[in-house]
Amino acid sequence: MSEKGRYDMLSKNIHRDNSIFLGILTLLGIAAFAEFMIGNTGSVFAITILMFVLVGIIAVLRILMTDRRIQTIQNEVPDERTRKIDTYAQSKSWYVTFMLICIFVFLNTFRIIELSVYEVLIILFIAMSWSWIAFKWYYGQKGDIE
C-alpha cells in the first residue's frame, strides 16, 4: 500500500476511534452533570466529578498522542491544518472559559449558587478541557476553521 493510502486509512481509523471515544465521554459527561444537578452531596458526587476530571485528562492526552501519530506518519512534517485547528479550538475554548467564569461571578454575587474554591476550580478545569475537545472535534469534522 502506498504511503498516502496508509495515511488515509490510519487517519480514517483514528477519526472513527475518536468519534466512539467522544460518544462515551459525552455519555459520562451527561451522567456527571445529572448527578451534579440532582444531588450534589456525598461521596458519589465526589467520585463522579473525579471520574469526569480524569476522563477529561485522558481525552486531552489521547488527542495529543493521536496528533503525534499522524505527524509521525507524515515523516515529522507538521500538518498546517491540524495546527490551525488546534490553535483556533484553544482560542475558542478561552472565550468559553472566560464567559463561564463571568457567569459564575454573577451567580455567586447574587447567591444563586454558592460554590467552594475546589468546586469552582474543578468546573473550570472540566470546562477548559472539554470545550477544547469539542471545538477540536467540530473543526476536525468541518475540515477547516473558516
Partner 1 sequence: MKTGFKEYVLWIGSAIAIAALAIIFFTGHLEIYVLGVFVFGIIVTLGSLSVMAGCGHKEDERLKKIIAFSLMNSWVTGVTLLSTVLFLSYFNWLGPLSAIQAMSLTIAIMLLMFYCWYAYYSLKGDVE
Q: Which residue ranges make up the site for partner 1 (CB under 8 A)? A: 86-88, 90-91, 93-95, 97-99, 101-102, 104-105, 108-109, 114-122, 124-125, 128-129, 132
Beta-carbon contacts of 140 under 8 Å, excluding residues fewer than 6 positions away, are 15, 18, 85
Q: Which is nearer to partner 1, 60 or 73 (CB)?
A: 60
Q: Which is nearer to partner 1, 33 or 118 (CB)?
A: 118
Cβ 85 to partner 1, closest distance in Å?
A: 11
Cβ 124 to partner 1, closest distance in Å?
A: 6
In this structure, what C-alpha cell is assigned to residue 62?
489521547
Q: Which is nearer to partner 1, 20 or 77 (CB)?
A: 77
Task: Decide if 137 contacts 18 (C-beta within 8 A).
Answer: yes
CA 139 from centroid of its chain's CA atoms: 13
Cβ 9 to partner 1, closest distance in Å?
A: 30
Residues in the chain: 146
Q: Which is nearer to partner 1, 10 or 121 (CB)?
A: 121
In this structure, what C-alpha cell is assigned to residue 12?
480514517
In this structure, what C-alpha cell is assigned to residue 3?
504511503
Cβ 67 to partner 1, closest distance in Å?
A: 14
d(CA 113, CA 102): 14
Q: Which is nearer to partner 1, 18 or 93 (CB)?
A: 93
Helix axes 3-38, 42-73, angle to 10 degrees: 170
Cβ 141 to partner 1, closest distance in Å?
A: 19
